[in-house]
Structure 1
Amino acid sequence: LSHTFSLSLTLSYSLSSASCTLQVGNSQYYNYTLSVNGKEQKHGDSYESDYLTDLITNRSLHFLEDRSPQHPFFLMLSPPAPHSPWTAAPQYQKEFSDVKAPRDGSFDKLGKDKHWLLRQPVNPMPESSLNYLDSAYRKRWQTLLSVDDMVELLVKKLDSMKELDNTYIFYTSDNGYHTGQFSLPIDKRQLYEFDIRVPLMVRGPGIKPNQMLQAPVLNIDLAPTILDISGTNLSSVNVDGQSFLSQMAPSLRNGTTRPFFLVEYTGEGHPTSDPSCPKLGPGLSECFPDCVCEDAFNNTYACVRTLNGQNNLQYCEFADSESFVEVYNLTSDPHQLENIVKKVDPAVLQAMNQRLIKLQSCQGASCRDNK
């Protein structure tokens, strides 16, 4: 998809301009119910009329055809791909038959010196787990081919309407995903780069092509950026994020980048043990395949990530009985293989702890105070 976009940023999301609005989204491919202007609309299992990614594409094209040319528009598309159950369109179900998940980085590495949840998978992974994650990887790619079609059709439609050069297009995702990293077969929910970092590509007025900017952008920045593009005075809006329009198009806006940011997650578990994995006990969830658990009640953490010209560090605290801490230097250890909490100057740990406390308690403008 990168050929249709002209800017790549490092961390996060979906748009066009503002006033008329269409929003559709679901996490199923067939047999779902939509709310259409407040009215229930049920769909079945016919590819031609019900496959959700294509339905979103077709309704978006109609939205563009029917819009009033005098008004700006905002179009947000949330296809189910590549979420489970990974149901590809019929014409794509045999694609990528020889593809496997990449075996590089932290793939099938031991979760040494990490939170207990990362220490519980079998290492090396059994063949059954490898087959499962490779199958999931292929199916996810297959579902994304319909998203490729969506992007191509919408870009061509905007071009035919002579609106392409007037429109900002954001392409992103809602979360990262792992397939075998630290012997965790498939899921998200972890504090590492493979789960928290998502693609973000943007093209539009004032953005020079073929740039890759390294300053971090967060999903909470999407709303203020869209409002900024629409001409809203951001000082009147109480949001934690900040516009990144100045990064993309410095000729249009002045602004600063953030040197650090917050990452946090509240773990989920079941009060009773999983019937298929009774020996693991209660408090865990997502225990598949092969009884590897991807989440737990105490998989609850908060991290501060420092990313500037001098440092690329991550400091994380767990809300568990151990008060477990993980620290990584991503400059020397981009795959976060070594927890260096015992090697770091205590003064640095204290400074990052205080920064984390500040980020967890901030609201609105105070979240953008980068001192």
Structure 2
Amino acid sequence: MRTSLIRAGSALAAALLLFGMTAGACAGPPAGDERSPVNVVFVLTDDLSANLVQYMPNVRALAQDGTTFSQYTVTDSLCCPSRSSILTGRYPHNTGVFTNSGDDGGFHVFQREQERDTFATSLRSRGYRTAMMGKYLNGYQPGEHGVRPGWTEWDVAGGGYGEYNYNLNENGAVRHYGQAPEDYLTTVVEGKAESFITASAEAGEPFLLEVATFTPHGPYVPAPEDKQAFPGLKAPRGPSFDKLPSDAPDWLAGRAPLTAAQTAQLDTAYRKRAQSVLSIDRMIGNLRQTLEKAGVADRTVVVFSSDNGFHLGEHRLTAGKQTAFDHDVHVPLVVAGPGVRGGATVEAPVLNIDLRPTFEQFGGVTPGPAVDGRSLLPWLRDGQAPGWRTTGLVEHHGPGQAADDPDRQAPAGGTPPTYAALRGPDFTYVEYEGGAREYYDRTTDPEELLNTAAKLPAARATELHEKLESLRGCRGAEGCG
């Protein structure tokens, strides 16, 4: 045990040198030459769109204390592909996970090879305690699959979208939770997360904790104390609400305007989604208080994000995701902690594949050659990262979905065919299977209502196509930008 702790201390010292911080910058006296560890608390939400952050005061406080990435994009606006990219730091074309189930997606595809090489396995090898709580990957069943590689604490549910009446695999033992208020899943994982933080601090060991909520994913179940919040709240009526873009691709074109009944359903969904994020927000505040009480807040980085966005009426689509529009792929990312610039905003294009190498750098781990992303540490520490990418890749397989897929969408919700897209700071470019294309200049058209792909100069169209093809086959951080 002493040998493993010495190895962990050496790795953490390297991490802190990279992070520009030593034990002298932290509360509490250093022990000899030992340096304090950089812990990670990662709160990952499900389907949380950017327009819900306004109802989350603790997230906004986190942003004031830390750095917000205003151009953070997911590699696929769908749960399992996005979460697979987060865990591995790899694009879907390198994980093989493009959907939630079937031959090209879900837990059963991920666990074949990808599961043995994640931020959990690499940090665990460096002496970190690692905990996964809440939602893992679509298709994981608590009674069948057990604790996964790299995790020292495992408290994971299967279909916990209803927040009640679910099974939780607790370090290999399956426990059923019922309908009592205290069984609300977000509340349960919050309590377990607080216990994990306290125990890790008492043990003096570095830790990484991922709390992955099922909220605000449908059926949008709020905590008992939040059911009456925001009376009369309606879905935002922005410029793209119930509007089709010009020259829309076939899967989107020709849709009739939203009916009064559909609009009422969207309003109800948005109100319930706003209610359901309140429990997440309280959890973030409580976890930060727990870090303070445990004496490790000044050496712990807190990260908040979502696996994908969501649309409710935008572009004449009812509830759903999976598109390349900003409301689906552009989600919040906030980081706060020791050495992180406070009240800062980064406008560079960053991706969910960048989280793994960031977490690894906190632990002194050099990302392997199979990792496509790059560490965000230079942005967090210095506000600049020379040679950073200018565009990111979004890739999606569609439109088929299994009948039991919790993300199965009605046609009115949007079921785009297979596509690949480039997203830069000021544009979105999409190529669909079958030949349709979209180009939106978000500088002049932030709501993505003017598809000008057919009007692009030939040289620009060729440049975009070649860049897209290059990224679709890239491997490793150097090749993937």
Q: Distance in 2 between matches of 1:120 and 1:342?
A: 19
Q: Does the 8 A contact of 2:310 with 2:321 survive in 1?
A: yes
1:244 aligns with 2:364: no
Q: What is residue 216 of structure 1 aligned with on the other side? A: 349
Amino acid at match of 2:281: D
Flag the 1:213–1:293 CA change in 2: closer, same or farther, 3 A: closer
Shift of 1:254: 6.0
Q: What is residue 325 of structure 2 aligned with on the other side? A: 192
Shift of 1:305: 2.1
Equivalent residues, number: 342
Flag the 1:254–1:112 CA change in 2: closer, same or farther, 3 A: closer
Q: Does the 8 A contact of 1:303 with 1:317 survive in 2?
A: yes
Q: What is residue 229 of structure 1 aligned with on the other side? A: 362
Aligned with residue 419 of structure 2, among 283, 301, 306: 301
Shift of 1:32: 1.2
Within 5 A, what are the aligned runs for 1:20-35? Answer: 20-26=129-135, 27-28=160-161, 29-35=163-169
Moved over 6 A (4+): 13-18
Q: Deviations over 1:317-338 (max 9, x none)?
A: 1013xx1011111111111111
Within 5 A, what are the aligned runs for 1:1-371? Answer: 1-5=59-63, 6-10=66-70, 11=72, 19-26=128-135, 27-28=160-161, 29-48=163-182, 50-67=183-200, 68-123=202-257, 125-234=258-367, 236-250=368-382, 256-269=387-400, 286-287=409-410, 292-295=412-415, 299-307=417-425, 312-320=426-434, 323-369=435-481
Query: Any idea what SS the aligned residue of 1:119 has?
Result: coil
Flag the 1:271–1:23 CA change in 2: closer, same or farther, 3 A: closer
Q: Deviations over 1:107-162 (max 9, x none)?
A: 11123311122224322x11001100110001011111111110111011111222
Shift of 1:238: 2.2
Query: Any idea what SS the aligned residue of 2:130 has?
Result: strand
Query: Any idea what SS the aligned residue of 2:454 has?
Result: coil
Query: Any idea what SS the aligned residue of 1:34 has?
Result: strand
Flag the 1:221–1:261 CA change in 2: closer, same or farther, 3 A: same
Q: Distance in 2 between matches of 1:93 and 1:259?
A: 43
Q: Distance in 2 between matches of 1:360 and 1:24?
A: 32
Shift of 1:292: 1.8
Query: Any idea what SS the aligned residue of 1:33 has?
Result: strand
Q: Deviations over 1:185-235 (max 9, x none)?
A: 11111111111000001101211211111001111111111001111123x
Flag the 1:205–1:255 CA change in 2: closer, same or farther, 3 A: farther
Amino acid at match of 1:313: F
TM-score of the superposition, structure 2-length normalised?
A: 0.67
Flag the 1:249–1:81 CA change in 2: closer, same or farther, 3 A: same
Shift of 1:368: 3.6
Flag the 1:84–1:198 CA change in 2: closer, same or farther, 3 A: same
Amino acid at match of 1:303: A
Amino acid at match of 1:304: L
Q: Distance in 1 between matches of 2:349 and 2:392?
A: 8
Q: Distance in 2 between matches of 1:95 and 1:143?
A: 10
Flag the 1:270–1:148 CA change in 2: closer, same or farther, 3 A: closer
Amino acid at match of 2:266: L
Q: Distance in 2 between matches of 1:171 and 1:120?
A: 38
Flag the 1:367–1:171 CA change in 2: closer, same or farther, 3 A: same
Flag the 1:304–1:4 CA change in 2: closer, same or farther, 3 A: closer
Flag the 1:271–1:306 CA change in 2: closer, same or farther, 3 A: closer
Shift of 1:105: 2.7
Shift of 1:180: 0.6
Q: Does the 8 A contact of 1:325 with 1:341 survive in 2?
A: yes
- Give unmatched runs, 5+ long, in structure 1: 273-284
State the structure with bigger RCO (CA 8 A, min sep 6), 1 or 2.
2
Q: Distance in 1 between matches of 2:402 and 2:330?
A: 30
Flag the 1:102–1:314 CA change in 2: closer, same or farther, 3 A: same
More helix by share: 2
Does 9-18 or 178-187 show the bigger shift?
A: 9-18
Shift of 1:255: 5.0
TM-score of the superposition, structure 1-length normalised?
A: 0.87
Identity of aligned residues (%): 32
Q: Distance in 1 between matches of 2:177 and 2:237?
A: 39
Q: Distance in 2 between matches of 1:4 and 1:270?
A: 37
